[in-house]
C-alpha cells in the first residue's frame, strides 16, 4: 500500500475547492426556490378554497387585481390586519364594482396554519372574511415570503395587456406592520 504525504496547503486547497463546489450547487438549487420579488412575474399556483374544498388557482382571477393576505389564527398582528383587509379592500372595491378603471379587485385571505382548524374557522368568522383559502403546504406562501413573516400582503396584476404591469406581476409585497398600503396601488388598469 502506498501512502502519499500531502502538504497542508494542498489539503486546504482541496477542501476549499470541494466546499466551493457544494456551495455553488446548493446555491443553484436555492436559486430556483427564491421568492418572487416585486416587479417579477409568476404565472400560477393552486391552493384550496377553505369553504368548498375545491382547488383555487391564481389564474381563476384572470382580469382582476389580486390581493393575497397570508394569515394564521395565532398571529396577533393578523387579528388587526385581516379584518382591515376584508373591510377596507375587499368590501370597499366590491361596493364600487372594481377600482377606478373598472378592474375587479379580488382579495384572497390565505391561511397557512394546519393545526386547530376550529380556531381558524373562528378567526375567519370574527374577521368577516369571504374568500378564504388554505395553503397548508405553503405553496403560495413560499412563492412570496422572504422573511418568514405574517401577516404578509401581496398585490398582483391579473390583467393581461396592461401598459404598466405584466400579467401576474407582483405590484406590492410586504409584511403588514403598520397598516395597509395606500389604496392607490390597487388602481391598475
Q: pLDDT digit of tens for each residue in the chain (189 aa)?
A: 333 333 444 433 444 434 333 333 344 344 445 888 887 898 789 999 999 999 999 999 999 999 999 999 999 899 988 998 899 889 998 889 888 888 999 999 999 999 999 999 999 999 999 999 999 999 999 989 887 888 999 999 999 988 889 899 999 888 866 555 555 555 555
Give yes or no for a contact between 172 and 150, defined as CB atoms under 8 angstroms apart: no
Give yes or no for a contact between 173 and 155, defined as CB atoms under 8 angstroms apart: yes
Query: Running DSSP on this structure, what letter comes out for residue 150?
Result: S
Give yes or no for a contact between 108 and 90, defined as CB atoms under 8 angstroms apart: no
- Residue 36: per-residue pLDDT: 80
Report the Cα–Cα distance between both ends of the chain, in Å, rounded: 76
Please list the residues that pair with 68 across neighbouring strands.
Answer: 108, 154
Please list the residues that pair with 106 across neighbouring strands.
Answer: 66
Give yes or no for a contact between 86 and 130, defined as CB atoms under 8 angstroms apart: yes
Q: Which three cell numbers stand for residue 123?
A: 378567526
- Residue 180: per-residue pLDDT: 55
Task: Please tell me the pTM assigned to this model.
Answer: 0.77
Amino acid at each position: 500500500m502506498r501512502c502519499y504525504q500531502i502538504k497542508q496547503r494542498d489539503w486546504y486547497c482541496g477542501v476549499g475547492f470541494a466546499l466551493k463546489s457544494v456551495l455553488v450547487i446548493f446555491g443553484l438549487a436555492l436559486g430556483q426556490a427564491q421568492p418572487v420579488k416585486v416587479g417579477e412575474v409568476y404565472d400560477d399556483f393552486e391552493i384550496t378554497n377553505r369553504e368548498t374544498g375545491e382547488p383555487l388557482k391564481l389564474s381563476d382571477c384572470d382580469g382582476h387585481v389580486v390581493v393575497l393576505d397570508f394569515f394564521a389564527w395565532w398571529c396577533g398582528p393578523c387579528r388587526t390586519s385581516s379584518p382591515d383587509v376584508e373591510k377596507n379592500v375587499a368590501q370597499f372595491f366590491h361596493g364600487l364594482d372594481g377600482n377606478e378603471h373598472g378592474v375587479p379587485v379580488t382579495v384572497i385571505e390565505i391561511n397557512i396554519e394546519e393545526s386547530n382548524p376550529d380556531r381558524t374557522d373562528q378567526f375567519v368568522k370574527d374577521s368577516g372574511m369571504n374568500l378564504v383559502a388554505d395553503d397548508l403546504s405553503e405553496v403560495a406562501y413560499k412563492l412570496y415570503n422572504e422573511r418568514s413573516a405574517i401577516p404578509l400582503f401581496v398585490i398582483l396584476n391579473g390583467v393581461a395587456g396592461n401598459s404598466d404591469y405584466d400579467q401576474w406581476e407582483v405590484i406590492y409585497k410586504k409584511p403588514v406592520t403598520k397598516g395597509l398600503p395606500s389604496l392607490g396601488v390597487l388602481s391598475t388598469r
